Structures are given as C-alpha cells and as structure tokens.
Amino acid sequence: MIVLSDFEAVREALVSQAEVFSDRPSVPIVAMLTKKKGIVFAPYGPVWRQQRKFSHSTLRHFGLGKHSLEPKIIEELKYVKEEMLRYGKDPFNPFPIISNSVSNVICSMAFGRRFDYEDVEFKTMLSLMSRALEISVNSHVLLVNICPWLYYLPFGPFRELRQIEFDVTAFLKKIIAQHRDTLDRENPRDFIDMYLLQVEEERKSNSESSFNEDYLFFIIGDLFIAGTDTTTNTLLWCLLYMSLHPEVQEKVHTEIEVVIGRDRAPSLTDKAHMPFTEATIMEVQRMTVVVPLSVPRMASATTVLRGYTIPKGSVIVPNLWSVHRDPNIWERPDDFQPTRFLDENGQLIKREMFIPFGIGKRVCMGEQLAKMELFLMFVNLMQNFTFLYPENATKPAMEGRFGLTLAPFPFNIIVLKR
Ligand code: HEM
C-alpha cells in the first residue's frame, strides 16, 4: 500500500499517470457489499465509463450544477428552518435535520420526491447508512478482508452490517419496483425512470449491455452513500466553525446583507459577488477534508512514480488530509483563516492544491451538486440565523470522527433568528 501525502505526488499519479492509477483495489468487504457494481467502487474500464457518463448526464438533466435545481434546494431549506426554529433558544444536535435535507436533494433527483423528516422508514434508512459507513472501518469488520467468511458470523458488527445491507436493499428495491410499475415512457420523472428507459433501449440493440435493474440499484446506493454523508458533514462542520469563530460569522453575515439582503432567497448567481463566503466554505473544507483518504486507487500496471517502482496491484491512498495541511503549501495550516483564499483586493483565488473532491478521471462525480448545495444551504441558513456554541458546553475535539468520511463529534448548537 502506498500513501501519497503531498500534492505533487497525488497529481503525478492521478493526473499525469491517470491510465495506470484510475482503478480501484478489490477489497473483499467492499466487493461483498457492492458486487463491484455502481460507480464509486467499480473497476476502471468500459462499464464504469458508460455508467458514470450516463449517471452524470442524467443528473445534469435533472439540474446538477444548473439553476433548475435551485428551487428544490430552497424549498428544502424551508423545512430545515422550520425545524430549527422549533428549538427556540435551546441547544440541539443539528445532524438529523441537515442529513435529512441533504439526502432529500438526492431523493428529489433520484426518486422524484422528498421525504418528510418524521417519516420513520426514511429516518431509519439515513441512520443505517451513516452507521454502515462508520462500522465498515471498524477493525473487526476489516478482518473480513482476511477471512471473508467472518462476514456471515451471526453476531457482533458483522451481523449488524448484514442487517443494514438487507434493510437498505429492501428499501431501494421497493422504490425501483414502484417506478417500474408506474413508468410513463413519454415523461420520465427522475433518475430511476431515465435509467429504466435506458435499460429498455439497450436491451433492443445490445445483449451485452451493462444497463440493468440490478446495476441501477447499486448506482442509486452510490448516489446516497457518496452524496449524503459527505455534504452533510461539510455543512455540519460549517455550522460548528461559525459558532466557534464569531468574527468570521459576522463577516459572512455582512456580505450576505450587502449582496442579498433579507427579502429574497440566495441564488447561485450571487456566488460570484460573495468571495468571503465562498472562501469561508473552502476554508472549512480545507480544514476538515471530509473524505480524508479519498477513495483508494490501484495501480493497474507496474510503473515508476517519483523514482519508485510501483508494482501492478499496489493499493494507492491519496492522503487528501495531508495535502490540505501541508505547511509547504499553506501558511499556518492548522489555523482557520478564510482570507487565505482571497487576494489583496478581497477577490477569490483559485488554488490548484485545493482538491477536497479529488482529481483525475475518478474525481468526485457530484462535485457541482455538492458545491451548489453547500453554497445555497449555508448562505440560506446564515441569512436567517446566527449560530452560537452553548456557553457551558465543552468544545468538541476538532480532529473529527473517522469513518469513510470525517464527521464532527456530535455537538449541540443554538440558533438565533436574525
Ligand atoms: C462535500 C461533498 C463531497 C466531497 C468532499 C466528495 C469527495 C469525493 C472524493 C474525494 C471522491 C474520490 C475521488 C477519487 O477517487 O479521486 C469522490 C467520489 C465520488 N463522489 Fe463525491 N464528494 C462529495 C459529494 C458528492 C455528491 C453530492 C455526490 C452525488 C452525486 C457524489 C458522488 C460521487 C461519486 C459517484 C464518486 C465516485 C467517482 C468514481 O469513482 O468515478 N459526491 N467524492
């Protein structure tokens, strides 16, 4: 296993030698759960390429990176604000509200509907997925990689993981079946409908096609797993940093006041006029790197990288966390300083070493969607609220909780209506 810990090494492998370093390793626990299907863990090759291309363009069709998705996100925020206001001046844990709302954005694109925050099945699904990400890096569970049969043990984390797999499968399969039964070929409602139509289309002309309902199930699972925890944790980190850095929060408030005011909802077009707010989100992403070790890659051929021979089959870990804390790149890397992303005129500087979404052929497929959600949700919440850290509560350890994503330790927050 080779860990790439600085930007140049990551870029040389993932960009300059992309043909060699774009595969994923075959990890038994992952292969058992994903059957090597979907996008995130699929082997590099024509099937991955077809599925990623189709998924990306279909998400774009339903608004990824475009203004047409804005109203859905803004509508979701109505529920978020209502929920937050219910606590009055009492501290509360923002995790469930944020996680429900982020995943509802994916739901609206994938399933054509949102779920009520009180919906028991939906709430259970979200906490199960989050739990699965947490326990899948548990040291006992990782033993499955050495002894795959451990996965079938009827006790401990193995049993829990299998139960989660069973429940999530049943939930998603039910939704896919409902779509199949109500499909209107002339009016595809969402991602699932578009995929089902593609399956029918390919069946006519290509008997070898990788498009089938089974594959669809894994892609939907990927959109949830890759899209919910990452964006949720980033937003939670944003709220936590704001509550601990009131001076930064105040500057964001001022910028919102000047550019948007209080009478209308934020729009993506505001982004270009809000460099400080954007720099603040970027700085939170730099400090917290929610996918700290990216998703591992594998060398698909023997090659030479930075003078070292890398044998075919080596697992490559791009250490995004260390790239974003490298003192050779970032001055005082452990300090929270949004201004590092601004020039002397207060304009945003694009820094190529800022790569929280990874780089290369397998760069995050949801990057535009995540950026859109982060901006619209963060700005909308900040437009309406001041976030306070409860006075007598101990400050949480800021290194976070490591699962497949880096989550803040559970914390409570107080919202004050502005
Ligand atoms: C702040 C939010 C997010 C962060 C920081 C993030 C980060 C990442 C990273 C680091 C990777 C691995 C890239 C690599 O292998 O080099 C990745 C892959 C991926 N992400 Fe995201 N992600 C975020 C949100 C999303 C969203 C909202 C979606 C949903 C559409 C998504 C879908 C994916 C997919 C499908 C992949 C696999 C790409 C492939 O293997 O070809 N991500 N993401």
**Is 80 exceeded by the pLDDT of residue 151?**
no
222: Cβ below 6 Å to ligand 1? yes
Instruction: Give residue for tokens 């809000």.
Output: 274
Residue 387 CA to residue 413 CA, distance in Å, equals 7
Among 380, 370, 400, 153, smallest CA distance to 274 is for 380
Residue 63 has what pLDDT? 79
Average pLDDT over residues 43-59: 95
Residue 40 CB less than 6 A away from ligand 1? yes
With a CB cutoff of 8 Å and minimum separation 6, the contacts of 366 are 59, 64, 223, 226, 227, 230
The predicted model gives 162-174 an average pLDDT of 86
Distance between CA atoms of residues 253 and 240, nearest Å:
16
- Average pLDDT score over residue span 149-177: 82
Residue 56: CA atoms inside 13 Å, Cβ hemisphere, count?
15
Q: What is the pLDDT of residue 271?
A: 96
- Cβ of 231 closer than 6 Å to ligand 1, yes or no, is yes
Q: Which has more confidence, 333 or 34?
A: 333
Cβ(376)–Cβ(352) below 8 Å: no
For 66, 213, 266, the CA distances from 269, given in Å and listed in that order, are 11, 38, 8
Distance CA 175, CA 140 (A): 32
Q: What spacing in Å lies between the alpha carbon of 282 and ligand 1's midpoint? A: 16
R_g over Cα of the chain: 22
Topology adopted by domain 2-417: Cytochrome p450 (1.10.630)
Give the per-residue pLDDT at 27. Answer: 81
Whether 229 contacts 104, CB under 8 Å: no
pLDDT at 138: 67
Q: What pLDDT does residue 126 have? A: 80
Mean pLDDT of the chain: 92
The model's pLDDT over 256-296, given as tens digits with 9 standing for 90+, comes to 999 999 999 999 999 999 999 999 999 999 999 999 999 99
Residue 416 or 27, more confident: 416
Angle, helices 120-135 vs 213-244, to 10°: value is: 80
- Point out the ligand 1 atom lying closest to the alpha carbon of residue 360: 16
Q: How confident is the model at residue 148 (pLDDT cuts 50, 70, 90)?
A: confident
Ligand 1 contacts CB of residue 295 (under 6 A)? yes
pLDDT of residue 226: 87
Answer yes or no: is pLDDT of 134 > 80: no
Ligand 1 close to Cβ of residue 415 (< 6 A): no
* pLDDT, greater one: 354 or 210: 354
- Ligand 1 contact via 23 beta carbon (within 6 Å): no
Q: Which residues pair with 402 in a beta bridge?
A: 406
Tell me the CA–centroid distance for residue 263 and ligand 1, in Å: 34
Nearest CA to ligand 1 atom 37: 40
Cα distance from N-terminal residue to C-terminal residue, the chain:
51
Q: Does the structure show a pLDDT above 80 at 210?
A: yes
Tell me the mean pLDDT in the region 124-137: 76
Query: H/E/C letters for each residue in the chain?
Result: CEEECCHHHHHHHHHHCCCCCCECCCCHHHHHHHCCCCCCCCCCCHHHHHHHHHHHHHHHHCCCCCHHHHHHHHHHHHHHHHHHHCCCCCCECCHHHHHHHHHHHHHHHHCCCCCCCCCHHHHHHHHHHHHHHHHCCCHHHHHHHCCHHHHHCCCHHHHHHHHHHHHHHHHHHHHHHHHHHCCCCCCCCCHHHHHHHHHHHHHHHCCCCCCCHHHHHHHHHHHHHHHHHHHHHHHHHHHHHHHHCHHHHHHHHHHHHHHCCCCCCCCHHHHHHCHHHHHHHHHHHHHHCCCCCCCCEECCCCEEECCEEECCCCEEEECHHHHHCCCCCCCCCCCCCHHHHECCCCCECCCCCCCCCCCCCCCCCCHHHHHHHHHHHHHHHHHHEEEECCCCCCCCCCCCEECCCEECCCCCEEEEEC
Calculate what percentage of the chain has a pLDDT beyond 70.
97
Residue pointed to by tokens 């090494």: 9
pLDDT at 228 over 80: yes
Q: Ligand 1: which of 59, 324, 357, 364 to mutate, most ligand atoms within 8 Å of CB? A: 364
Could you tell me the distance, in angstroms and rounded to a whole number, from the CA of residue 142 to the centre of ligand 1?
A: 22
